[in-house]
Amino acid sequence: MHGVKKTFDKWAQNGRAELMEKEHGNNVSKFLQTISFGKPFTFLDVGCGNGWVVRKIVKENNCKKAIGIDISKKMIIQAKKKQGNKKEEFFHTDVESWNYKGKFNFIFSMESLYYADSIEVSLEKIYKLLKPSGQFFCGIDFYSENRATARWANIMKIQIHLHSKKEWKKFFQNTGFAVKTKHIKDLKNKKKWKREFGTLFIIGTKPEK
């Protein structure tokens, strides 16, 4: 985990945070448009980077509170600098050890869960942080069917877990979630994999009881 923190601290300083916002922005926006935020809700972004998703979500009329957490202290400093709404809150922590009393209607994670020491432990904690019938939206570009991104494991030189779509679904099911998946493709993108594979979103719903 130490290597991951160092990498993201570096990215916070060299402009990669803004690049990630730009790179993921299209597909995340497309995905969020498919979600009904019709009732008052609370929202958590796990691995929030500079807080761009949190800032997007607080604009929803029914958002009561949106929290972002990240293991990179420098990302959280950036997020707090950009903070423009009292409903936003940011914490420097990893999800596994975060000691938070409340529960959320929606939890979101884009390209961050596969850096965790243990995907299973992280999912268990996320499950606990959700209210009954709450949903976890997990966006992944790095999965084994997407061969162009599977190469990242060798390039990154940090802990990063590569799994197939089937394996990801199994992780969620083993935790207790009802699972659906959705591929969001960026058909006008120059990168072939973004047009053909796109982002895999795993949607886990916690049972009502």
User: What is the C-alpha to C-alpha distance for residues 200 and 182, in angstroms, rounded to an integer?
Assistant: 6
The pLDDT of residue 186: 75
Digitized pLDDT (tens) for each residue of the chain, 209 residues in all = 555 666 555 655 555 555 565 666 778 888 999 999 999 999 999 999 899 999 999 999 999 999 999 998 989 999 999 998 999 999 999 999 999 999 999 999 998 888 788 999 999 999 999 999 999 999 998 888 887 766 665 656 666 778 899 999 999 999 999 999 998 887 677 777 677 778 899 999 999 97
pLDDT at position 48: 93
Q: What is the pLDDT of residues 5-16, one digit of tens each?
A: 665 556 555 555
Chain segment 130-158, per-residue pLDDT in tens: 999 999 999 998 888 887 766 665 656 66
DSSP letter for 55, please.
H
Strands, E assignment, 26-128 = 41-46, 63-70, 88-92, 104-110
Fold topology of 2-205:
Rossmann fold (3.40.50)
- Confidence (pLDDT) at 115: 79
- DSSP secondary structure letters along 2-21: HHHHHHHHHHHHHTHHHHHH
pLDDT at site 15: 55
* Global pTM value: 0.88
From the list 104, 173, 168, 178, the residue with the least C-alpha distance to 139 is 168
CA distances from 157 to 40, 112, 115, 153, 193 (A): 42, 16, 12, 7, 22
In our burial notation (b when 16+ CB lie closer than 10 A, e otherwise), range 147-167 reads eebeeebeeeeeebbebebee
Burial zone of 22 (CB within 10 Å; 0-12 exposed, 13-18 middle, 19+ buried)? exposed
Cβ atoms < 10 Å from Cβ of 1: 13
Domain boundaries along the sequence of the chain: 2-205
